[in-house]
Structure 1
Amino acid sequence: MVTVTSVQIEGHSFTAVSVSLPKTTLLTVSNENGYIMCGALDVGLLNRLLKDRKIVAGRATGVKTIEELLAAPLESVTYEAEAWGIQAGMTGEQALLKMI
């Protein structure tokens, strides 16, 4: 099942997507500038092979819901996310607010 909802953070809208897969759930929250995602995101691949795309993204591990993704500290972020002031250790919500 795929669930798409709107998430409001300090008056800003983001799109949350939850995809139920066998034995796991894929989670993302995004806007037009970037996104955060569960542990399925391969930040190393984005930094190495897709660096020229300048993808603003962060990854949180061990999360099972959108709420947990928003509250969890990011484990890693892309180089472009760092250029936007996003750092590993920030919560997902803090990172998304930097993507405005």
Structure 2
Amino acid sequence: MITVNPLEVDGMIFTAIRVELPKTNLLMISNDIGYIMCAALDVDIFNENEKLRKRNVIAGRAVGVRTIEELLHAPLEKVTDASKEYGWEPGMTGKEALLNIS
């Protein structure tokens, strides 16, 4: 099942997406600038692949989260190089990162 809902974070609206997969969930929160996600996807590919790096994808990932609420409050384990222009860094919470792109 795929669930897509609006999510309000300190007065700013984002889109929360949950994809139920076998034995795990894919979780994402996004707006038109960037997104955070769980570790079910790979951030490194956007930093390591030259073609993808040119896209300047703003993304970060958290590990060990099971809900959208946990994703908001978990520290980001990795962020793309392009996200650093918005002040993103590993260790900041998903909420902090999202507010930097709102």
Same fold (TM over 0.5): yes
TM-score category (smaller protein): over 0.9
Which of 60, 66, 69 aligns to 1:67? It is 69
Indicate the residue corresponding to 2:37 in structure 1. Answer: 37
Q: TM-score, normalised by structure 1?
A: 0.97
RMSD: 0.7
Q: Distance in 1 between matches of 2:20 and 2:94?
A: 20
Aligned-partner SS, 2:84:
helix
CA distance in 2, matches of 1:41, 1:96: 18
Q: Runs in 1 of length 4+ with deviation above 3 angstroms?
A: none
| Counterparts of 2:20 and 2:12, CA distance in 1 | 26
Count of residue pairs the alignment pairs up: 100
SS in 2 for 1:53: coil
Show structure 1 runs of 5+ residues with no match.
none
**Residue 56 of structure 1: how far off its partner (Å):** 0.3
For 2:71 and 2:40, locate their aligned partners in 1 and report how far apart those are by CA, in whole Å: 12
Shift of 1:41: 2.3
| Structure 2: segments with no counterpart, 5+ residues | none
* Distance (whole Å) between structure 2 residues aligned to residue 33 and residue 61 of structure 1: 22
**1:2-56: per-residue Cα shift (whole Å, max 9, x none)?**
0111110111100000000111100000000000000022111011121000000
Give distance in 2, aligned partners of 1:17 and 1:71.
16
Q: Secondary structure at the match of 2:95?
A: helix
TM-score w.r.t. the length of structure 2 is 0.95
Question: Which residue does 1:51 correspond to in 2?
Answer: 53
Write the letter of the residue equivalent to 1:95. Answer: A
